[in-house]
A and B are shown apart, each in its own frame.
Chain A
Amino acid sequence: MKRYLLIALLTAGLVSAQKEISDLEVKYMYSTAKDTTHAGEKMTEVMVLDFNSKTSVYYSEAFLERRKAIETQLAIAKNSGQMADIDARKMVRPKIDYSVYKSKGKAWVTSRIGSNLYTFEGDSQKWKTDYTDEKIIIGYPCKKATTTFNKRTYTAWYTKEVPISEGPYRFKGLPGLILEIEDANGYDHFIAASIEKKKAEIVPLQKGIAVSRSEYVKKREEFKNDPYPGRPMDLNRRNQLENFKKKFNNTLER
């Protein structure tokens, strides 16, 4: 009995000493329509998924590039003893500034609304996998699967050649890595552009105020309706905001 206890202690000790290190990095080309009435006009961003069999982090490549640039500027200031100077004109501008951290079967999305970051936990997806369809994506044979996610039907293509249940954004739960996923209307499309070996620590890139998913959606809609509560604004600016508000109707969370 003592021996079993010691083995358990040994295992617990070693596990707690370990950091989560990625095995692979997938780069996805993500295209999304801001306005579903003009679905042909897409915004594109390179998104990165660093993962191992247990944990992953998903973020915009430009977001991390800008963070590194900021850290460089802070380090320069520290070494020179001068005030840090961050100039956005000299830095890449990310179009997506949310990130997703997945661990132990759960997924947390951290996204900014106005001047606050919010973190919510997302539910898992139920997949239908009894399809015979197959196709090749960046050299990997893929099988078809479908799911309903936030009231939209998505078709995914996953490969068992990478037998890790992972995918872009909150998508996971298939017996292999998702290399392509798109909703039925073509508003949101993720497709893998590359898969490479990568050893990097997997940690959440952002931490926000903890809310439920429904609270997050509610806060986001409130922000859309009144982005600057209490701030005086001229009529042209107000009209511009009203027009944009009507146009931005496509989000992953609904």
Chain B
Amino acid sequence: MKKFFLLAAFGIVGVLSAENTKVKAMQTSQKQSISILFYNPIRVTSSCGYTEFIDLGGSPIECLEVEMARMEEDCYSPFESWGYA
């Protein structure tokens, strides 16, 4: 019977730990999105000196990277910096 309660306790702790992680992750993402909104727009200068102001609007960092890659392509040509799979 003691083993039964011990196992039950471990199970509950495990599930609570998982839920706690999810809550923390949600809180972090909410904080990040607020900070990104506050600091937009972002001034981006390409390697050929062309500057654009990009408003991420809370989008993830991949969006900024994609825009930077597009600006680099504008500097040269779409195929000069070919890195597609």
B47 touching A93, Cβ below 8 Å:
yes
User: A74-96: contact bitstring with B at CB < 8 Å (1 yes, 0 no)?
Assistant: 10011000011111110001111
- The B interface, classified by DSSP as helix, strand, loop or mixed, is helix
A247 touching B79, Cβ below 8 Å:
yes
Instruction: Please name 14 further chain A to chain B contacts, defined as beta carbons within 8 Å, in addition to the given A34-B82, A98-B84, sorted by A numbering.
Output: A9-B14, A9-B15, A12-B14, A16-B14, A70-B61, A88-B71, A95-B81, A97-B65, A97-B69, A112-B84, A206-B65, A224-B79, A241-B77, A248-B79
Per the bound structure, the CA–CA distance linking A152 and B8 in Å amounts to 54
B62 touching A10, Cβ below 8 Å:
no
Per the bound structure, the CA–CA distance linking A146 and B35 in Å amounts to 50
The contact size tier of chain A is: 35 or more
Report B's interface with A, CB cutoff 8 A.
3-4, 7-8, 10-18, 21, 35-36, 38-39, 41-47, 49, 60-62, 64-73, 77-85
B66 touching A10, Cβ below 8 Å:
no
A244 touching B18, Cβ below 8 Å:
no
Report A's interface with B, CB cutoff 8 A.
2-3, 6-7, 9-14, 16-17, 34, 43, 45, 60, 66-67, 70-71, 74, 77-78, 83-89, 93-98, 109, 111-117, 169, 206-208, 216, 220, 223-224, 227-228, 237, 240-241, 244-245, 247-248, 251-253
Per the bound structure, the CA–CA distance linking A77 and B46 in Å amounts to 19
Nearest Cβ on chain A to B27's Cβ, whole angstroms: 17
B11 touching A116, Cβ below 8 Å:
no
A67 touching B65, Cβ below 8 Å:
yes
Residue of A nearest to B54 (CB): A86
Residue of A nearest to B50 (CB): A88
B21 / chain A contacts, CB cutoff of 8 Å: 17
- Can you list 7 A-B contacts with CB-CB less than 8 angstroms, sorted by A residue number? A13-B11, A88-B71, A93-B47, A98-B84, A117-B62, A244-B78, A253-B85
Asked whether A111 and B85 contact (CB < 8 A) given A13-B18, A78-B35, the answer is: yes
Per the bound structure, the CA–CA distance linking A6 and B16 in Å amounts to 15
Per the bound structure, the CA–CA distance linking A82 and B74 in Å amounts to 27
Per the bound structure, the CA–CA distance linking A86 and B44 in Å amounts to 5
A83 touching B39, Cβ below 8 Å:
yes
Which 9 pairs of residues, A with B, have the shortest CB-CB distance?
A13-B14, A244-B79, A9-B11, A16-B18, A17-B17, A13-B15, A227-B78, A111-B85, A10-B11
Per the bound structure, the CA–CA distance linking A204 and B78 in Å amounts to 25
Per the bound structure, the CA–CA distance linking A28 and B8 in Å amounts to 46
